[in-house]
Chains A and B, each alone.
Chain A
Amino acid sequence: MGKKIGSERLGDLYQPGKKVRKRREWRGVKDTLYDYSRWLHTMGILGKFMLNKNNVKAFFRYRWMLNFLAVPMMVDRHTAGLRGNHLRIAHTEYDLVVEDVAKLMANMFRADKNTGNDREFSKKLVILDENEMSHLLCGFPNLIGVGREIPAVYVSVLLQQDAVCHYIDVAQEYGLSGDVCPMPEAEAGVSIDDDYPIFGACALQCNTTCDGSLMGNGVIARRLEKEHGIPCFQLAAPIRHTEDGVQEYAAQEIRNAIKFIEDCTGEKWDWDAYFECAKRFNAETRERMEWLQMSTTEYPQVIGANLALYTETVYMAIGGKVPAFLKADKKITKLAMDSFRKKEMIVPEYRHRAIIWGVQAQYYTDFLPWLQNCWGILPLVDMLSMVSTRMISEDDPKQAIYDMAHLYENMIMRNRTHGGYKVLLNDLWGFCQQFHADMVILWEHMSCKALDGMHGLFEEQAREHGIRLIWAVHDLMDPRVVPRASLRQDVNRYMRSVLREEPLDPSLEEIDDADSW
């Protein structure tokens, strides 16, 4: 118990049957104080948020709001075991993500008919899908893109594992099959349950990650258009996104979407504003590439779940619109470079270098810190972080349309689940080589048909490439189907019975977090 990495028995902090842990992790005086200051910062954001009457109203109106009490715990779960620069990198990421989500929610509740009901402000908001790029808003500096599903579903499950079980049940009671992906299922459930805030000049939907997500949009659009009179545009991003033949189709969809927003809001597309964001987006991409480059060496610094969650925010939700993120990126790079030069490690021993592939269990994203702390499996990069690193034009409007089309085609997850087997299967082995990985942790999201459909070939080709492959089976947003303990069991069994290894931190091997946030 101290400032040295691996000095705390992290499993001892868990309390069976309780939502919170026994106490905060002791990381030595300096790091503990720093960590506590960030905890206070998070509490400050929550406190400030609750000073607004719209938000208080929303707290009592929307069932999912209760989950946000668990924000500090979520940050704690994702910083477990970290010290020094790595702790600071993680907090730099989470500070901004928390602030951004709080701002998104405040905007939503200000405009929402059920809470703030600021009609003029509502006309400035454009509803986006949860898993959708936001670059189309870069050229509309007076408008704000808001994903209602982000706080209601996506973030809620990050905070509290069973946050959307109610909405999954609602959708199934309405007649939806139980075998579809729980994410669009829960999103449709929130709509059926009438638990979304109501606002916005229009909605921009997109066929994001999968067939289920495309169909869930239809349920939501029906309610938006027919009950609330909010027009919806369905942006069709091509599925075969790696092929040249579909790029003009994709570009035309972007042009049509811009026109739709202009027609609905009266705003005009502003190229200067767009290119300003494009410059920042490119700069952010360059920072991310630095981090990935470090992960190919013996001393990776920016890795795992924190990289994934941060990348999702920066790449999709921010898209160069918010200068603070680029500032944070630079800070992260500086911290990482400092650690890299000092050859600092994240856990005491790196036994395996792993690529995390597939779709993460949203109710257990801190599975990756568990992997590194318990077994010394270093989660170098995950599938969701392996998004486009192509530089986009900073001054050519014609090219910019194709760039946006490219980004919408290459949304997180979608860039791997769509586009044919090469981007999912072949690229994985290429990344294993690039990052010198000896292991793949393959999230098997049981309702993700695009991934399940390659199950046998993943196994066969892993053997051919001499890669250790561990399946981590889950049901994305429903821990009732596969609990967190079962995911750990998948790894424990493999590590003990196949590799015959002992854990780095034995206290983490069996923990009881079934009732935990």
Chain B
Amino acid sequence: MKDLKYLYYFEKLLDEANNELVRRAKEEGRICIGSVCSLVPEVLLSLPGAFTVRLRAPRTGSIDMGTYYMTSFLCEYSRALLERAIEGGYQFLDGLVAPDACSMINRAVENMELLKTMPAEKFFYRYMEIPMKADDNGLSVYVSESRAKILTPLREVYGIDTSDEAVRKAVKVHNEICDLITRIGEFRKEENPRITGYEYHMITLASYVCPKDLLKDMLEETLEELEKREPDSGKRFRARVVVVGSEIDDVDMIRLIEESGALVVADRFCFGALPGREVILLNDSEDALTQVCRHYMYASECARYMNREKIDGRREYVDRLAKEYHADGIIYEQMKFCDYWAYERMVGSHVLREEYGYPVLSIERPYAIGSSGQIRTRVQAFVESIEIKKLGKKGGI
């Protein structure tokens, strides 16, 4: 297939945290609030006059300082973020809102604070309580925390308008981008998709780390381009897979899976679109803040939610995705040292294999995967096993 016009540009944007669009928005006088997790409602950080960036540490090399402060037993993502912060890589931020959701990320941000890594004069840190169950009580704390830890500092420190009207405006912009990304993602359902998992990952990832409104024109153009795009004839892949698991912001991860013979048709991981890039529907009878929080709470598939409905719902959701996107198998992945996904991967891979009947590959991986031979071999073997199963079915074996 012909390369997408903006693919190279999106890749360039992902090369650094302080990318071209971030710099442009800052030059326009907007304030930038960092976040480190999907559980912080990103739309509330993107009120008019502000924008948000989900922190990554692209092109991570040594994480020695991060390891000194947090030992080698914390996940590499948290160590890489701290390392980058100590190096001064996030000094474009005006504030950082972290959820106290996972101990490791929480500690990474606390280290950033205690080590005084952010020089901005009015810089603020906020640590949010995030509900652990999706219910009315959880919603009440989500709303009060969002108000106290996001809206109040935005208003009091930077004079940002945090009215209901402003929240609705932010949701509108957010929805426009999410709608575009969702429509682009729909092409992955095709028998011979006109977009690869890697391309889609680049587009989605860019939407988490750039001011969204500045991406809009490019996304619209990309959608138009895709509508006309002809997929290569003949099969370019040997198996369709859903990737499920913890944080993936490494551009090499999906590429490696696809180089190994699979096509990633659904991205059910942090920094993915499922969920994360669905539109937020608002009504006029209730305040926007409550509706936004409700949306994030019920849509989230984070392994941290501990009520049984959510736990069972996570596996049902993967099954639904696999059916909708016609997947042949599921790859459960987990970044090493991640407690939440260590358990979720273990149980989820058994449930999806034994109760739902999918071929499942279960892998642990580093933050920056590079060209890991081990993961490549495992994916290749998985693809082969799916092919053998298919052949077996055809031959009635």
Contacts and interface: CB of A to CB of B under 8 A. Distances in A.
A177 B127 contact: no
A245 B71 contact: no
B70 A210 contact: no
Contacts of A236: 131-133, 137-138, 306
Contacts of A502: none
Contacts of A243: 129
Q: Mostly helix, strand, loop or mixed at chain B's interface?
A: helix
A181 to B, nearest CB: 7
A457 B108 CA distance: 12
A240 B343 contact: no
A491 interface: no
A234 B339 contact: no
B73 A176 contact: no
Q: Among A212, A221, A240, which residue has the most Cβ atoms of chain B within 10 A? A: A240
Q: Among B304, B342, B344, which residue has the most Cβ atoms of chain A within 10 A? A: B342
A417 B103 contact: yes
B154 to A, nearest CB: 17
A239 B129 contact: yes
B83 to A, nearest CB: 12
A484 to B, nearest CB: 20
A36 interface: no
B353 to A, nearest CB: 10
B148 interface: yes
Given A175-B345, A245-B129, A234 B362 contact: no
Given A245-B145, A246-B141, A453 B339 contact: no
Contact of A210 (B141, B148, B306, B339): B339
Interface stretch (A79-87, A107-115, A117-125, A248-256): A248-256
Interface string B331-369: 000101101101111110110000000000010100000
Contact of A181 (B68, B336, B339): B339
Interface string B79-104: 00000000000000000000011111
A451 to B, nearest CB: 9
Contact of B343 (A219, A249, A446): A219
A217 B137 contact: no
Nearest to A218: B311
A67 B332 CA distance: 37
A215 interface: yes
B343 A218 contact: yes
B8 interface: no
Interface in A183-229: 188, 205, 207, 210-212, 214-219, 221-222, 225
Interface in B260-309: 303-304, 306-308
B107 A249 contact: no
Interface string B171-189: 0000000000000000000
B127 A457 contact: no
Given A449-B337, A457-B69, A249 B110 contact: no
B131 A222 contact: no
A211 B103 CA distance: 7
Nearest to A473: B71
B70 A216 contact: no
A30 interface: no
A337 B349 CA distance: 58
Nearest to A246: B129
Given A188-B343, A215-B303, A249-B140, A179 B336 contact: yes
Interface in A76-120: none
Q: Among B68, B69, B133, which residue has the most Cβ atoms of chain A within 10 A? A: B69
A447 interface: yes
A179 B111 CA distance: 22
B347 A452 contact: no
Interface string A387-411: 0000000000000000000000000
Interface in B124-153: 127-133, 137-138, 140-141, 144-145, 148
B342 A179 contact: yes
B137 A218 contact: no
A321 to B, nearest CB: 27
A351 B145 CA distance: 48
Contacts of B127: 240, 420
A234 B137 contact: no
Q: Among B68, B141, B306, B339, which residue has the most Cβ atoms of chain A within 10 A? A: B339
Contacts of B340: 211, 215
A401 B166 CA distance: 38
Contacts of A240: 100, 127-129
B68 A456 contact: yes
Interface of B: 68-71, 73-74, 78, 100-104, 106-108, 110-111, 114-115, 127-133, 137-138, 140-141, 144-145, 148, 303-304, 306-308, 311, 334, 336-337, 339-340, 342-347, 349-350, 362, 364
Interface of A: 171, 174-177, 179-181, 188, 205, 207, 210-212, 214-219, 221-222, 225, 232, 234, 236, 238-240, 243, 245-246, 248-249, 252-253, 256, 417-418, 420-421, 444, 446-447, 449-450, 452-457
17 contacts: A177-B334, A177-B337, A179-B342, A207-B306, A215-B303, A219-B346, A236-B133, A238-B141, A239-B100, A245-B141, A256-B137, A447-B73, A453-B106, A453-B110, A454-B111, A456-B68, A457-B111
